[in-house]
Amino acid sequence: MFLYQKLKYDYRHLNINNFDAAMVELIDFLDEAEKVKPDYLYYDTETNGLHIIKSKPFLVSMGFKKDNIKRVITLDYNNKIMNAFWDILEHSSLRKEPNFIGVGAHNAKYDYHMMENGGSPIPEKIDLFDSITVARLTEYVDEHASMSLETLGSKYVSDDAKFAGKIIKDMIKKLNAERRKKLREDIMDAFPEDGFFTITKSGKRKATGKLSNLIEEYDKTRTQFLNDDNPYFKFIDEHFKPANYQDIYEKEPELMRSYAADDIVIGLEYLDKAMPTLLKVDKDLTVTKREGKLIRAVAWMEDTGLKVDVDYVLNCRKNMVAYRNLLYFELQTYTGMEFSVAEHKTIKKLLLIKYNIKTDKADEKALKYIRDNTTNEEIKDICSNIMELRTLDKWISTYVDGKLNAVVNGRIYTDINNSGAVSGRVSCDMQQQPKEALFDRDGNELFHPRRMFICDDGFCLAFCDESQMELRVQAYYTIIHASEPDLLMCRAYMPYNCYNEVSTKFDYNNPKHIKEYSKHTWYELGSGKEWIPTDLHSATTKNAFPDLEEGTEEFKHHRKLGKRANFLKVYQGGVDALMNALDINRDTAEALDKAFYKSFPRIREYQDWVVQHLSQYGYVENLYGRRYYMDDNRFFYRACNYLIQGTCADMVKTFEIKVWEYLTKNKLKSRLVLPIHDELMVSVAKDEMFVIKEVKRIMEDVTDVIKSIPMVSEPEMSETNWACKKEYVIEGSDG
């Protein structure tokens, strides 16, 4: 029994072949919603794929629930009908009800894309929300539970809430097997002279290993642009398409409709249980509404994408493969064996038999240890070769082939996940593009993953980065949650406990002082020394390694450790985390740990406040209103990280919304492209360079939330590609 039947929902499928009848049903659906006044409508799309640009909807489902009135409808996608539906809803009295939250979906940004792709974009006046956001805000953050609709349905609605999903997946698997079987027959028909089959004594065709090897090679190596001229691969491209939900719909329409209806029921039943909690934990639905606005802003970014220099990537791949072949040749020469660097067992056996080195593992850490602790040059070379080959393999598969396969119409479109982390931090694969190039052992550049992304004609790429965002937020938390502000940390960003040339003491609670502090010379109270912003990383380094002389090469080397330690400590890393992340021994890690708290003692008070507040209230709330509820006191320390990361995440999300609103309302050509951690990438039209100044202004205007620490955005710009960005000085600014 389907869930809509079990829970007695009024479910109907609309016949779009009769437009007038379908519209009557839709109007009846909305009329009833206007009468009962549900707090939200819920919708979903079933699509022919999962690509935010290429995929399109074939089935739409919608529903609402209020007391005992429970309605669900499904209809084959029709943009004329959907545009009429959105138009009616936009002008309906329901949308104007004070308690009406808006139109929700699970992974709402994807369904928003599908409406656009189908030709029926959701009008801007209709508020959106995502039930994943609801789940994030109402679940304990220390449980790290899945936010999938299936998981939430099983947990809050019914154990078998998605039984139809398994049936459909099994059908897709079976259909793919049938298509693969037919593909083998088609290949034998198309290439009868190419050795893909033999004839048995009974006169039947029998596929050879060559055919199996071909299909396996296709699955492993088919890369767009790279082997497009392979006649076998081209044939497979044309004759084999993996099955999708639309294929199942064509075979079993009633099953797919019921599945779609149940998705709505699961969403409504889940929200019915979660909303009372949400209204308590998200004051005035501040976070929910912000995330709802973000859906449109981020979808707009995703639709923009980045232009790709395919020729550059292909040329780099050619050089990388040639270098990889050279390294494998050397490895074979050293060892007298042919093997893949992915064969860990073979490598361990080789080291034991040939060099009498016993190791439990053959990962990078183990090989690095062996290399650094042997005087045998051959062993050093072997370990180095294996590690370098693994790096090459990863870069080719991830940053070359993976990206080539992602190109659509000369661009790459990334899916930005706004709810992927419990802190609220955004994630997407493009954030992981390495900042630095890959070089061979002679220092020749093989490939730069960011050089492949190039400017559109008539545009440049601008990058507005928040300077030391996490550390500034940490400094602010010492102002509001420690016995007094942390001296050195606050002095890194403002003249705390200082006076200027006219003997005015700096007041960090005065917005004018925060905004204009750079116009004055400041002197430290007590010593009278001129205030110079604290070098936070040098402060930790000096306390960790007091015997090192500042300014020497050795000090500079250790300062890199101090810098990384500072960020790890702000993210609540302990001694073990420092050891693992920095690859240092325990004594050095302990020295850095102690030095951090010696340099910035009030941070300990902030961290103590977090644990105390959690113990007393069960939650902490970041500066943008996002709460983190925790149930297990063993993990309370993590909330120190969540507050800082979450505040930074919600700050950047606010920037995205404001920049999107500025660009769209002014009908500018410039487009938001991507959030990269604490940075926004903008494709700026060359006749709209003023946009960079405005984005900088938006990213520095946070005094409504962070009142006592100035935020600084540092713009960079490139007229060629992502890798070649340089500092951009805005005319008439201080830098």
Task: Determine the pLDDT at residue 157.
Answer: 93
Q: What is the dihedral of CA 490, 492, 494, 497, to 10 degrees?
A: 60
**551's tokens:** 């300014």
Residue linked to tokens 């925060």: 514
Whether the CB-CB separation of 464 and 680 falls below 8 Å is answered with yes
> Looking at the domain that runs over 453-468+647-727, which CATH code has it been given?
3.30.70.370
CB 660 within 8 Å of CB 296: yes
Q: What is the pLDDT of residues 615-659, one digit of tens each?
A: 999 999 999 999 999 999 999 999 999 999 999 999 999 999 999
- What digits encode the pLDDT tens for the residues 357-395? 999 999 999 999 999 999 999 999 999 999 999 999 999
Class of domain 470-643: mainly alpha
Domain with CATH 1.10.150.20 in the chain: 470-643
Q: 577 by DSSP, 3-state: which?
A: helix
Ranges in the chain annotated CATH 3.30.420.10: 3-160+260-304
**Burial bucket for residue 729 (CB in 10 Å: 0-12, 13-18, 19+):** exposed
Give me the architecture of the 307-412 domain, per CATH.
Up-down Bundle (1.20)
- Tens digits of residue pLDDT in 98-118: 999 999 999 999 999 999 999
Q: At what angle do helices 469-481 and 602-617 cross, to 10 degrees?
A: 70
Residue 734 has pLDDT above 80, yes or no: no
Contact 274/629 with Cβ under 8 angstroms?
no
Tens digit of each residue's pLDDT (9 = 90 or more) over 490-511: 999 999 999 999 999 999 999 8
Q: What is the pLDDT of residues 386-437, one digit of tens each?
A: 999 999 999 999 999 999 999 999 999 999 999 988 999 998 888 888 999 9
pLDDT at 732 over 70: no
Q: How large is the average pLDDT for residues 543-561?
A: 94
Strand partners, 620: 628
- What are the angstrom distances between the C-alpha of 489 and each of 222, 475, 592? 52, 6, 16
Phi first, then psi, for residue 272 (nearest 5°) are -60, -35
Residue 59 to residue 534: CA distance in whole angstroms: 59
- Residues contacting 575, CB < 8 A, separation 6+: 586, 589, 590, 593
Average pLDDT over residues 314-337: 95
The first and second tokens of residue 449, run together, are 């993953």
State residue 735's pLDDT score.
44
Q: Phi, psi at residue 140, to the nearest 5°?
A: -65, 130
d(C-alpha 108, C-alpha 85), whole Å:
18
Residue with tokens 């995929």: 55
- Tell me the pLDDT band of 607, cut-offs 50, 70 and 90: very high
Distance between CA atoms of 501 and 504, rounded to whole angstroms?
7
Confidence of residue 693 (pLDDT cuts 50, 70, 90): very high
**Whole-angstrom distance, CA of residue 680 vs CA of residue 431:** 11
Q: How far apart are CA 119 and CA 116, in angstroms?
A: 5
Q: How far apart are CA 571 and CA 423, in angstroms?
A: 12
Q: Residue 733 pLDDT > 80, yes or no?
A: no
Q: Evaluate if pTM is beyond 0.85.
A: yes
Outline where DSSP puts E strands in 67-185. 69-76, 102-105, 128-130
pLDDT at residue 596 above 50?
A: yes
Per the prediction, the chain carries an average pLDDT of: 95
pLDDT in tens, 280-299: 999 999 999 999 999 999 99
The phi and psi torsions of 663 (rounded to 5 degrees) equal -70, -40
Alpha-carbon span 526 to 543, nearest angstrom: 22
Q: At residue 141, what are phi and psi to the nearest 5 degrees? A: -70, -20
265-284 residue pLDDT tens: 999 999 999 999 999 999 99
Return the number of other C-beta atoms located less than 10 Å from residue 474's C-beta. Answer: 28
Q: What is the DSSP string of 300-332?
A: HHHHH-EEE-HHHHHHHHHHHHHHHHHHHHHHH
| Contact (Cβ atoms closer than 8 angstroms) between residue 720 and residue 454 | yes
Give the confidence band of 5 by pLDDT, cuts at 50, 70, 90: very high
What's the pLDDT tens digit per position in 436-470? 999 999 999 999 999 999 999 999 999 999 999 99
Q: Hey, which CATH number is domain 3-160+260-304, 3.30.420.10, 3.30.70.20, 3.40.50.720, 3.30.70.580?
A: 3.30.420.10
